[in-house]
Amino acid sequence: MGLKAVLKKAFMSQAFSPHPFWGIFANPFYLERRAIYQFIKKAASQYSPKGTLLDFGCGIKPYRFLFPHISKYIGLEYDSPENRSASKADVFYDGGGVPFKDGELDCVLCTQVLEHTNNPDFYLKELYRVMKPGGVAILTIPFMWQQHLKPYDFFRYTEFGARYLIENNNFFIELMEKNPKGLSAIFVLLANQLPSYKSPLFNVLTWVTLGTLINIAGVCFSAFSKKEADLFINLFIVMRKGE
């Protein structure tokens, strides 16, 4: 196995569920990814029902292991050559209606996906349609983040815009959190601007030096974040379909 493959494997192991210590050195997006992981872990344990779960925009299904109680885990992705090659989706679709029957699903996981849909209202309606009464959806969406997956990057969400969309589509919000927030959000944005090189070795050196210092500073300053901070990176939401 070559150096590039070794480095990729090591860093990918920390990409979505970074270790509380080692992840600080290995993941330049540690603060954001750690927050997402911790929220999904909590939501899966406290809110997620048993039964069938749809991972909407599943990618490589990085959070599958957090739902051991789910009897059927289905990954859905937009049908494209890139997704056919790189994702672990079970079902591919054309980007139109969600290809499931009314009331078929017990739970939906949708993490960092809704900003890439050009009609979020339509997809929330579709998710509502395919969920069973009382079903739970776990949602994470960005408020501040650089443009990515261009040109398919359409929206950022305030807490008020997200609440309007969700409640306008007849969901009830069980939980809404902001994280990372306050001063730590500034360090997330700094880490996001670290240079990227063609050489994996240069990237690693940058991440484990500058990236580590930024992550440590962000962790330290997170202790000073206000509970209701208006500066934050992501919204974390648990919402329920009415009985």
Q: What is the mean pLDDT of the chain?
A: 93
Give 13's pLDDT tier (boundaries 50, 70, 90): confident
User: pTM above 0.85?
Assistant: yes
The Cα 127–Cα 98 span in angstroms is 7
**Least confident range of 11-25, 119-133, 172-186:** 11-25
133 in Cβ contact with 103 (< 8 Å)? yes
pLDDT for position 7: 64
Question: Considering the chain, what percentage of its residues have pLDDT values greater than 90?
Answer: 81
Domain hosting 131: range is: 33-182+228-243
The Cα 49–Cα 136 span in angstroms is 7
Which pairing describes strands 232-241 and 171-181: parallel, antiparallel, or unpaired?
antiparallel
pLDDT for position 26: 86
Give 99's pLDDT tier (boundaries 50, 70, 90): very high
| Residue 43 counted as domain residue | yes
133 in Cβ contact with 242 (< 8 Å)? yes
Residue 156 sits in the same domain as residue 42 = yes
pLDDT digits (tens, 9 = 90+) for 193-207: 988 888 878 888 888
pLDDT digits (tens, 9 = 90+) for 218-236: 999 988 877 778 999 999 9
Residue 175 sits in the same domain as residue 188 = no
Residue 39 sits in the same domain as residue 121 = yes
- Residue 155, SS3? coil
| Residue 135 counted as domain residue | yes
pLDDT for position 217: 95
Residue 45 sits in the same domain as residue 63 = yes
Q: Is the pLDDT of residue 157 over 70?
A: yes
The Cα 176–Cα 138 span in angstroms is 10
Q: Is the pLDDT of residue 1 over 70?
A: no
**Least confident range of 25-39, 73-87, 128-142, 189-203:** 189-203
pLDDT for position 50: 92
pLDDT digits (tens, 9 = 90+) for 39-83: 999 999 999 999 999 999 999 999 999 999 999 999 999 999 999
Q: Is the pLDDT of residue 239 over 80?
A: yes
| Residue 15 counted as domain residue | no
Structural tokens at position 125 = 């309606």
**Least confident range of 9-13, 46-50, 71-75, 145-149:** 9-13
Q: Is the pLDDT of residue 160 over 80?
A: yes
Residue 192 sits in the same domain as residue 85 = no
Residue 58 sits in the same domain as residue 82 = yes
| Residue 23 counted as domain residue | no
DSSP state of 241: E
Half-sphere exposure at residue 5, Cβ-oriented, CA atoms within 13 angstroms: 2
Residue 160 sits in the same domain as residue 193 = no
Residue 187 sits in the same domain as residue 145 = no
The Cα 68–Cα 195 span in angstroms is 38
Name the nearest CA neighbour of 131 among 242, 216, 20. 242
Residue 188 sits in the same domain as residue 124 = no
Name the nearest CA neighbour of 59 among 5, 7, 113, 117. 113
Instruction: Count the domains in the chain.
Output: 2
| Residue 153 counted as domain residue | yes
Residue 103 sits in the same domain as residue 204 = no
Residue 168 sits in the same domain as residue 205 = no
CATH code of the domain in which 65 resides: 3.40.50.150
Residue 151 sits in the same domain as residue 203 = no
| Residue 160 counted as domain residue | yes
Give 3's pLDDT tier (boundaries 50, 70, 90): low
| Residue 17 counted as domain residue | no
43 in Cβ contact with 238 (< 8 Å)? yes
Give 121's pLDDT tier (boundaries 50, 70, 90): very high
